[in-house]
């Protein structure tokens, strides 16, 4: 797999994760509504920024970023979620998506290191650091 292919797979997975976060944000119900509604918005805003950075990095490497929903669904390692509304099921789904993204990013880090691409390695490494912290916080929240 080339670095651009790895980045496109990561981009596709981030896009599906982003839309899943939007669904959680819109559809959350119950006593945790206020805190999770805000938290999911924070997470999808972060994901939106990463998506743009990934697409621009692919272009910088003279690749072409995936940009259609059908391409995202085909290339993504994250499945679209449907009809999640409760606090535990939404948080669990988000945590599963984040765990998959962390693993994918580690794979892209290996590709970037192999290509001697420090810029991509820095971008991805920074994203992993932020996502690991967010995942830790969700794990702590779900232990309530």
Q: At what angle do helices 87-115 and 118-142 cross, to 10 degrees?
A: 160
Read off the pLDDT of residues 43-89 as tens digits, 9 standing for 90 and up. Answer: 999 999 999 999 999 999 999 999 999 999 999 999 999 999 999 99
Take residue 116 and report the two structure tokens written for it: 């001697």
- What is the per-residue pLDDT for 57? 99
In angstroms, the CA 97 to CA 23 distance is 13
**Does the pLDDT of residue 26 top 70, yes or no?**
yes
pLDDT average, residue stretch 78-107? 97
Instruction: Name the residue ranges covered by the structural domains of the chain.
Output: 3-142
CATH class for the region spanning 3-142: mainly alpha
pTM for this one? 0.96
Give 31's DSSP letter.
Answer: T
CA distance 39 to 138: 10
In whole angstroms, what is the distance from residue 47 CA to residue 126 CA?
13
Q: How confident is the model at residue 144 (pLDDT cuts 50, 70, 90)?
A: low
């Amino acid at each position: 797999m080339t670095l651009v292919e790895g980045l496109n797979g990561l981009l596709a997975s981030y896009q599906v994760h982003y839309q899943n976060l939007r669904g959680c944000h819109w559809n959350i119900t119950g006593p945790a509504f206020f805190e999770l509604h805000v938290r999911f918005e924070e997470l999808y805003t972060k994901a939106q920024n990463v998506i743009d950075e990934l697409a621009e990095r692919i272009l910088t490497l003279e690749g072409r970023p995936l940009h259609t929903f059908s391409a995202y669904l085909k290339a993504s390692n994250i499945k679209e979620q449907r009809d999640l509304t409760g606090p535990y099921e939404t948080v669990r789904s988000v945590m599963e998506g984040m765990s998959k993204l962390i693993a994918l990013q580690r794979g892209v880090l290996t590709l970037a290191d192999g290509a001697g691409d420090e810029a991509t390695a820095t971008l991805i490494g920074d994203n992993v650091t932020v996502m690991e912290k967010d995942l830790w916080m969700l794990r702590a929240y779900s232990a309530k």
